[in-house]
């Protein structure tokens, strides 16, 4: 994996791994946390928690709808359930249950989707969540959080457990570069500026943050100065940071591992249209399903590269 | 804990109603909850609930009276027959017994029972489905804290019940969770997922009640799908199952008593009922015995109320 | 219902009624059309078709996931299945099946959601689809169509059957004013200008079109000239019409019976950000679930009125 | 129509492969499809398929060989035992028998069979899961027109099969639809919805095969849920059910023959198998008898291929 190389970042753990470890480490501090799995705890890494706290881990089998309903019942009875599956199955297969049993009554359920995006690779489109941000952001009162790396995941998992109300946490499968240090502080709802710049701002989250930082380095070489904002929380969105970016840099590129509709790009575009209209270019997989392949090959084929961000930045600067 | 179970209860008058309520309860409701009604009293109560159902849906001009009617004996036995231990002063008391109405469209029967218990004033029933009322067309637990689950999308309540039952079990609580489903609703696969998960965890503190009233939205349940032999199906999922006439309150009480005595697995009651039971003589002449999702006209409501008079 | 009064429109049938009638009328012309219902054919009005063509109507009970899968199989075997339920249950309860069995293989399934929006009234939030546009637009290759009235529904239903590939048609429950005449021609993918104006453009669809026309009349009285565009197709979106509106009127109001995220507003905002940045104000129900109540009272309480559009128009004109 | 059913078939050499394919088929495949193999030939074919599975997943470096192995006898009998009538020259021929792999992750077994039938070249198997290959990690019907359903999200294939069976029935076609599910997959409620809908329409042209290999992703199926007694459950949904040893090809053939003879309702075969059957001596020493979703290392693959040599 070459992500983060240009920016001088070193490869760290996958977000899902950091999630599993963090959950286990927080297990004693949050004694009402329980996990509810749909037979993929070894993929989502809730297994790490469930092995450490066997009485607090439930596996209800391959039955995502029931899984979410059970989690809602546990929450209504005072637990903090962390319910997880592949992001595609959690968000798509149990959407009505999330809507009715979690979002509508605003129950304290933490929903974690692993294997988000096309970077999962060889398993192909059926296992890739490329619409989960659209779906989960369309739930009033649900916080939608997309960590960029392992260290920030640790913080955001704690933030998620402390937050009162439903949260969706999106995790990737593959190892990603470390962007944050162990002491970085991240707050749900507050975007994080990773690099300043004056010609444009690249807004990204998840896997795309490292790629955005690479792109910023390449742009610098071309004389374009790019601010990079980690928009780890998509909902509620940090309007202030976005407006500030527009005011100070004039234009935006939004990069996300998602399809165009309903993702970070359209959320940002709604904010700017209302508060600070400006040119934006969007970097995403396009309006398509992806396919099987190696993660790096897929990212390239579906346009999620530093080169694509550079091209978008050049384009937006020329508008 | 056991004190509760036997009807002794410390009363805090100041907390008797939940924070949204506007008036103090009558003495009656406490007795109703903590001392089981006699059989005759319960039979009278079924009429009270039925009258509420007719009145509130006709006043609302929409809603599901026939779906509510079939469930009256079961709801009456649960709330007034000593099966459910709960406290209008603390609707979220953690060891309360839970009743989840998975067939949420039948919520008038639940509102009627809750009002009779004193959770909110009986007069509030007449606000059903009106803008601003907490008595919405389908149960909304966020707005009314005596509601255990927000339902209305069919098929989901039993899963929520499994969650409650698991939590109670973890916390060493004796609370029992009852979930009522419709026979049409049994078509939802999620119900079968929930049945399987309850079997796995041997949730003896969970009872599913299938209100088998023979109809669903577009016709007879046996015509829409052929699921109607529920007992062998649910048994094959490892549950203890009884089939009864659910409009016979004595059979209902007997079945609930047996259900509570089973200690090694979840229990189900297939409650064979009639949709619109109690007002069928009024519905029959309309030629629509299902009468799904329609309130009675003012005229029919008068007739029904006459039929349901004490 | 007072919608359309200011604009001099007369009340017509509900979109779901027009859909049912149109489907029946097209039954002979499209002999491979079949309906697949989830026990609500009398609500969605597919019943009208199924009664006329009893061999071609299937009711698989209250089981939306299976319903969509069955429709996909029928399509794969050469039928044109029209699968329908309340929009909330169709899109939320069967989302994974729509994704995997319909959108991903791009099968010729027509998906019709009735009872969309908060104007269904007394049944309350559980039966109201307020996120269906976000969900259905996040499916690559699925056309998303929202008719404004009965006459246009007739055209769009035919367009839907002629279109090769998956389509989502959103229908409302209540009677709405007639905006189009019997001879109006509508094409999937092409927005329809209903009224010209020079100070701003109001983009709306579904129930909001009549309200937008009322607002335009009120605005005219205030000296503000508003173009009104019926964006009946949300996906694929008519970029050309939107860019033209921005070029010619400078600013937009987007009005929809939906929550903000992932709806028409954010789709329009994405187009303008990329092609013609401009100020936009959004009229929608806000980031919330609604409640039980009479349709008119709900529309008022949740801000879907001509007054709300007028206020948004004044605001966007002052920016 | 009947001509087809008895193996007589007009051949159009130009259409023998679908449009994506790169080479003409060998003579062999036509015989394989239209003239059933002998029992010995089928047993040999199971080894061929197993070798393909090992090779392609090890070459891919990911995939689900053990989930594929358990299903080899069933797939072999269906495709090479004369049960499936289909035509590589016209993959979408409307009266073809259909095979839907609902447990889509086991797709290597299907690719192996399809290649052996001549739908695409055997060498293409080695492109499994590589960028650009039409042999994706889960079946993608849009890319490969011998695939009947895009699966990979478990629980959905039987519903699609119901749709095919309904369409064939409407069109007066004799085609039969087979759907293979995993035992873990049976946890998905949608499967039970599909079972109920097939019962309603008495789809005798539909056969569900549960590949009960005893394991799912995180462990033994009997530990994850207690659904494992499938026969009474599926029977209670009105289906004809047989339980067999699905790794014994003679039992498989007998069961498929009976299934085809049932004319009044849908049929299911609970196929008790072993996950990884055929290479268990190679997997056993790893201590992981489930071996879910992992390819064999090059070294283990060598051992497995030796075991599977003719
Ligand atoms: C998921 C879902 N699908 C469809 C509906 C629409 N609906 C409301 S009530 C009903 C019929 C319910 O029948 P049954 O479960 O037998 O309850 P009854 O009214 O007969 O008591 C239907 C289909 C719904 N509320 N939820
Ligand atoms: C809806 C859904 N949930 C979870 C998964 C992840 N998953 C892939 S294979 C598998 C286990 C399948 O077990 P089983 O059905 O017994 O098939 P086997 O591999 O044993 O043949 C799981 C949980 C999935 N593909 N789809
Ligand atoms: Mg019923
Ligand atoms: Mg298995």
Listed by start position, the domains of chain C span 12-177, 192-318
Q: Please tell me the distance between residue D67's alpha carbon and the centre of ligand 4 in angstroms.
A: 7
| Token pair belonging to D158 | 């039987």
Task: Tell me whether residues C273 and A273 touch, CB distance under 8 A.
Answer: yes
**Shortest alpha-carbon distance between residue C102 and chain B (Å):** 20
| CA of D70, nearest ligand number | 2
Task: Tell me whether residues D217 and A65 touch, CB distance under 8 A.
Answer: no
| Interface-testing mutation among A68, A70, A94, with chain B (most B C-beta atoms within 10 A) | A70
Chain B residues touching residue C125 (CB < 8 angstroms): 136, 138, 140, 152
Question: Could you tell me if B213 and B275 are in contact, meaning their C-beta atoms sit under 8 angstroms apart?
Answer: yes
Rg (CA), chain B: 18
| Token pair belonging to B254 | 């007997």
> How large is the average pLDDT for residues A209-237?
98
| Interface-testing mutation among D187, D222, D293, with chain A (most A C-beta atoms within 10 A) | D187
| CA of A61, nearest ligand number | 2
Rg (CA), chain A: 18
Question: Could you tell me if C98 and C91 are in contact, meaning their C-beta atoms sit under 8 angstroms apart?
Answer: yes
Q: Is the dihedral of CA B66, B68, B74, B79 positive or negative?
A: negative
Tell me if chain D has a CB within 8 Å of the CB of B299. no
**Which residue stretches of chain D have pLDDT < 50?**
1-32
Return the ∠ at Cα A160 (arms to A155 and A164), rounded to 5°: 140
**Which residue stretches of chain C have pLDDT < 70?**
1
> How large is the average pLDDT for residues B71-77?
98
State the helix-helix crossing angle for A150-162 and A15-26, rounded to 10 degrees: 40
Residue C64 annotated to the active site: yes
Chain B: residue whose CA lies nearest to C41: B218
Q: Is the dihedral of CA B124, B125, B130, B134 positive or negative?
A: positive
Name the catalytic one among C64, C131, C257, C281: C64
Cα–Cα distance between C80 and D243 in angstroms, integer? 36
**Shortest alpha-carbon distance between residue A204 and chain C (Å):** 16
| Token pair belonging to B41 | 């009293």
Q: Which helix (H) or strand (E) covers residue C69, if one does?
A: helix C64-76
Q: Please tell me the distance between residue C62's alpha carbon and the centre of ligand 1 in angstroms.
A: 7
Chain D residues touching residue C68 (CB < 8 angstroms): 159
Return the ∠ at Cα C97 (arms to D101 and A268), rounded to 5°: 130
Q: Which of B291, B133, B117, B142 is nearest to B125 (CA)?
A: B133
Find out whether the beta carbon of D230 lies less than 6 Å from any atom of ligand 2.
no
Chain B: residue whose CA lies nearest to A59: B197
Q: What count of CB pairs under 8 Å joins B to C? A: 96
Interface pTM (ipTM) of the complex? 0.96
| Digit-coded pLDDT (tens) for D60-115 | 999 999 999 999 999 999 999 999 999 999 999 999 999 999 999 999 999 999 99
Q: Which of C227, C200, C191, C231 is nearest to C312 (CA)?
A: C200
Cα–Cα distance between A211 and A177 in angstroms, integer? 10
Give the per-residue pLDDT at B31.
34
| Digit-coded pLDDT (tens) for A80-131 | 999 999 999 999 999 999 999 999 999 999 999 999 999 999 999 999 999 9
User: Which ligand 2 atom is the nearest neighbour of the CA of A93?
Assistant: 1
Question: Could you tell me if D130 and D60 are in contact, meaning their C-beta atoms sit under 8 angstroms apart?
Answer: yes
Task: Tell me whether residues D217 and A42 touch, CB distance under 8 A.
Answer: yes
Tell me if chain C has a CB within 8 Å of the CB of B65. no
CA atoms within 13 A on the CB side of A24: 17
> How large is the average pLDDT for residues B99-118?
98
Find out whether the beta carbon of B151 lies less than 6 Å from any atom of ligand 1.
no
User: What's the pLDDT band for B27 if we cut at 50, 70, 90?
Assistant: very low
Domain C192-318 falls in which CATH fold? Answer: Rossmann fold (3.40.50)
Question: Could you tell me if B116 and B29 are in contact, meaning their C-beta atoms sit under 8 angstroms apart?
Answer: yes
The percent helix, strand, coil of chain C (3-state, each to 5) is 45, 20, 40
Pocket mutation for ligand 2, best pick of A62, A83, A115 (most atoms within 8 Å of C-beta): A62
Name the catalytic one among A25, A29, A55, A64: A64
Residues of B61-100 as b/e, b for ≥16 C-beta within 10 angstroms?
Answer: ebbbbbbbbbbbbbbbbbbbbbbbbbbbbebeeebbbbbb
Q: DSSP string of C108-137? A: --EEEEESBSGGG-TT-GGG-BSSHHHHHH
- How far apart are the two ends of chain B, measured CA to CA in Å? 37
Q: Which of residues 229-248 of D touch A (CB under 8 A)?
A: none
Cα–Cα distance between B69 and B109 in angstroms, integer? 7
Among candidates A34, A65, A78 on the partner chain, residue whose Cβ is nearest the Cβ of B193:
A65
Give the per-residue pLDDT at B21.
35
Question: Could you tell me if D179 and D100 are in contact, meaning their C-beta atoms sit under 8 angstroms apart?
Answer: yes
User: Which ligand 2 atom is the nearest neighbour of the CA of D182?
Assistant: 15
- Cβ-based neighbours of A311, under 8 Å, separated by 6 or more: none
Which listed CATH number (3.60.15.10, 3.40.50.970, 1.10.3720.10, 3.40.120.10) goes with D39-307? 3.40.50.970
Among candidates D187, D197, D232 on the partner chain, residue whose Cβ is nearest the Cβ of B193:
D187
Task: Tell me whether residues A270 and C269 touch, CB distance under 8 A.
Answer: yes
Give the per-residue pLDDT at D310.
87
Mean pLDDT for all residues in chain A: 98
| Digit-coded pLDDT (tens) for C93-145 | 999 999 999 999 999 999 999 999 999 999 999 999 999 999 999 999 999 99
| Digit-coded pLDDT (tens) for C209-247 | 999 999 999 999 999 999 999 999 999 999 999 999 999
Chain D residues touching residue A125 (CB < 8 angstroms): 136, 138, 140, 152
Percent of the residues in chain B that have a pLDDT greater than 70, as a whole number: 89
CA atoms within 13 A on the CB side of C154: 15
- Domain A12-177 top-level CATH class: alpha beta
Chain C residues touching residue D158 (CB < 8 angstroms): 69
Is B33 a residue whose pLDDT tops 90? Answer: no
3-state class (DSSP) for residue B235: helix
Find out whether the beta carbon of C296 lies less than 6 Å from any atom of ligand 1.
no
Q: Which of residues 91-120 of B touch A (CB under 8 A)?
A: 94
- How far apart are the two ends of chain A, measured CA to CA in Å? 33
Mean pLDDT for all residues in chain B: 90
CA atoms within 13 A on the CB side of B222: 5
* Cβ count within 10 A of residue D10: 8
Return the ∠ at Cα C111 (arms to C107 and C112), rounded to 5°: 165
Chain C residues touching residue B225 (CB < 8 angstroms): 60-61, 63
Q: Where are the beta strands (DSSP E) in chain C?
A: 11-14, 33-37, 57-59, 80-86, 110-114, 143-145, 167-170, 175-177, 192-195, 200-204, 226-230, 233-235, 252-255, 280-283
Give the per-residue pLDDT at D35.
78
Q: Please tell me the distance between residue B188's alpha carbon and the centre of ligand 3 in angstroms.
A: 13
> How large is the average pLDDT for residues B192-215?
98
* Cβ count within 10 A of residue D202: 15
Q: Which of C116, C153, C111, C144 is nearest to C25 (CA)?
A: C153
Cα–Cα distance between B190 and A73 in angstroms, integer? 15
Chain B residues touching residue A81 (CB < 8 angstroms): 163
> How large is the average pLDDT for residues B22-27?
37
Tell me if chain B has a CB within 8 Å of the CB of D197. yes
Q: Which of A125, A128, A212 is nearest to A173 (CA)?
A: A128
Pocket mutation for ligand 2, best pick of D101, D105, D189 (most atoms within 8 Å of C-beta): D105
**Shortest alpha-carbon distance between residue C29 and chain A (Å):** 32
> How large is the average pLDDT for residues B108-118?
97
Residues by chain with Cβ below 5 Å of ion ligand 3: B 182-184, 213, 215-216
């Amino acid at each position: 994996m070459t992500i983060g190389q240009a920016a001088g970042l070193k490869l760290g753990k996958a977000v899902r791994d950091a999630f599993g470890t963090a959950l286990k480490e927080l297990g004693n501090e949050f004694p009402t946390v329980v996990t509810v799995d749909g037979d993929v705890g070894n993929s989502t890494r809730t297994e790490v928690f469930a092995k450490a706290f066997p009485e607090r881990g439930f596996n209800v089998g391959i039955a995502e709808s029931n899984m979410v309903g059970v989690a809602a019942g546990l929450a209504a009875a005072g637990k903090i359930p962390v319910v997880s599956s592949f992001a595609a199955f959690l968000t798509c297969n149990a959407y009505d249950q999330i809507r009715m049993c979690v979002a509508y009554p605003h129950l304290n359920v933490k929903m974690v989707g692993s294997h988000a995006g096309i970077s999962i690779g060889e398993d192909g489109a059926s296992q890739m969540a490329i619409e989960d941000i659209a779906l989960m952001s369309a739930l009033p009162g649900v916080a939608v959080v997309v960590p960029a790396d392992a260290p920030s995941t640790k913080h955001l998992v704690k933030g998620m457990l402390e937050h009162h109300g439903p949260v969706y946490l999106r995790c990737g499968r593959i190892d990603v570069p470390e962007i944050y240090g162990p002491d970085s502080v991240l707050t749900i709802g507050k975007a994080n500026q990773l690099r300043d710049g004056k010609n444009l701002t690249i807004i990204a989250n998840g896997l795309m943050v490292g790629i955005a930082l690479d792109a910023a380095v390449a742009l610098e070489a071309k004389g374009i100065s790019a601010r990079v904002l980690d928009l780890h929380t998509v909902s509620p969105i940090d309007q202030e940071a976005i407006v500030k970016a527009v005011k100070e840099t004039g234009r935006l590129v939004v990069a996300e591992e998602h399809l165009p509709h309903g993702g970070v790009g359209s959320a940002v575009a709604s904010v700017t249209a209302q508060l600070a209209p400006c040119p934006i270019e969007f970097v995403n997989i396009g309006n398509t399903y992806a396919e099987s392949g190696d993660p790096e090959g897929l990212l390239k084929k579906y346009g999620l590269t530093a080169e694509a961000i550079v091209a978008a930045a050049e384009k937006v600067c020329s508008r | 804990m056991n004190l509760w179970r036997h009807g002794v209860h410390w009363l805090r008058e100041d907390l008797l109603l939940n924070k949204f309520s506007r008036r103090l309860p009558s003495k009656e409701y406490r007795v109703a909850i903590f001392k089981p009604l006699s059989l005759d009293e319960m039979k009278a109560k079924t009429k009270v609930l039925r009258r509420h159902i007719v009145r509130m849906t006709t006043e609302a001009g929409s809603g599901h009276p026939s779906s509510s009617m079939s469930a009256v004996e079961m709801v009456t036995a649960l709330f007034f027959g000593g099966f459910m231990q709960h406290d209008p002063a603390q609707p979220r008391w953690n060891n309360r017994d839970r009743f989840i109405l998975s067939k949420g469209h039948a919520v008038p029967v639940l509102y009627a029972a809750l009002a009779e218990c004193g959770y909110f004033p009986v007069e509030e029933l007449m606000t059903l489905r009106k803008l601003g009322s907490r008595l919405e067309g389908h149960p909304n637990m966020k707005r009314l804290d005596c509601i255990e689950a927000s339902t209305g999308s069919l098929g989901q309540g039993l899963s929520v019940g499994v969650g409650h039952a698991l939590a109670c079990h973890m916390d060493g609580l004796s609370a029992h969770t009852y979930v009522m489903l419709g026979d049409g609703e049994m078509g939802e696969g999620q119900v079968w997922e929930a049945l399987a998960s309850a079997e796995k965890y041997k949730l003896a503190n969970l009872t599913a009640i299938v209100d088998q009233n023979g109809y669903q939205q577009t016709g007879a349940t046996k015509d829409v799908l052929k699921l109607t032999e529920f007992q062998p199906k649910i048994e094959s999922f490892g549950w203890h199952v009884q089939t009864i006439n659910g409009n016979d309150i004595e059979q209902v009480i007997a079945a609930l008593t047996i259900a509570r005595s089973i200690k090694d697995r979840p229990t189900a009651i297939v409650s064979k009922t009639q949709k619109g039971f109690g007002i069928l003589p009024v519905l029959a002449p309309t030629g629509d015995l299902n009468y799904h999702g329609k309130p009675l006209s003012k005229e029919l409501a008068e007739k029904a109320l006459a039929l349901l008079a004490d």
